[in-house]
Amino acid sequence: MDQWLQEDERIDYLLSHQLKIIQSPTVFSFSLDAVLLGDFAQVPRHDRATIVDLCAGNGVVGLLLSQKTKSPIIGIELQKRLAGMAERSIQLNGLENQLTMIHGNLNQATNWIKKDSVDVVTCNPPYFINKGTSVKNPNSHLAIARHELHTNLDEVMKETSGLLKMNGKAYFVHRPDRLIEILATMKKHRLAPKKMRLVYPKVGKEANTLLIEGIKDGKDTGFRVLPPLFVYGEDNRYLPEVSEMLYGKND
């Protein structure tokens, strides 16, 4: 396996789907948020859709979606090192015919992908507003992934809307404290919020993750709030729904 890896990288397993993924403790490792997004996003099973994953990181969301659809999936990632890790993970899993990685800025997405042509967009964007005074991770790879240094919520929604065809679906994972801004920005860019789920670390704790679906040019009516998702039990073990996302069904 060493021929796949650069220094400080390792191969981890997404046991729920028997997928291999290249990670690095010093550059980037996917978080539970990406797994939650991959599970939440609904994609057509057939091979005739176009699916785009923005802020693709090391490609985990695209890999997870590949197990739910036969349609092509295109990932766009700003950081060259992360895009390279994703490309090698695609090859490692023999998914080159379905998954493609583009190294580039999401604000140029329509240079590579025709405007108004995409059926589903997923995005795990940077969560934190870039305030000059805010403390950022000294690791530049992680700082870019977590803070709005090279993109922001408005740009993410604008580019998502530009890619999607009418009635195309968008799926985001974000932070609950930005919900009001998320809803307003979605509406500004013709993305009608349709479905939301809040994720809680434990029963009795505040929600720390938000999953939301939008439909381009959809109606303003029919917004649904799904049942809450709790991650850990009192014994600090994953509860069954999250455990199944990570490890598959417990036979």
Whole-angstrom Cα distance, residue 193 to residue 47?
26
Kindly report the CATH number assigned to the domain that includes residue 196. Answer: 3.40.50.150
Give burial (CB, 10 Å; 0-12/13-18/19+) of 49.
Answer: middle
Whole-angstrom Cα distance, residue 71 to residue 43?
9
- Which tokens sit at 172? 């985001």
Tens-place pLDDT, residues 36-57: 999 999 999 999 999 999 999 9
Beta-strand runs (E) in 94-249: 99-103, 118-123, 164-174, 191-200, 209-216, 224-225, 229-230
Determine the pLDDT at residue 150.
Answer: 57
Q: Which domain holds residue 158?
A: 2-247
Total number of residues shown for the chain? 251
Which H helix or E strand runs over 32? helix 32-40
Which H helix or E strand runs over 52? strand 51-54
Backbone angles phi, psi at 43, to 5 degrees: -125, 150
CB 57 within 8 A of CB 86: yes
Name the domain count of the chain.
1
CB 86 within 8 A of CB 62: yes
Q: Which of 51, 31, 72 is nearest to 21 (CA)?
A: 31
Backbone angles phi, psi at 191, to 5 degrees: -110, 110
Backbone angles phi, psi at 31, to 5 degrees: -110, 175
Going residue by residue through the chain, which has 251 residues, state the pLDDT in tens, using 9 for 90 and above.
566 787 788 888 887 788 999 888 877 678 899 999 999 999 999 999 999 999 999 999 999 999 999 999 999 998 898 999 999 999 999 999 999 999 999 999 999 999 999 999 999 987 755 555 554 455 544 444 454 445 689 999 999 999 999 999 999 999 999 999 999 999 999 999 999 999 999 999 999 999 999 999 999 999 999 999 999 999 999 999 999 998 887 65
Angstrom CA distances, 183 to 129, 170, 178, stand at 16, 13, 9
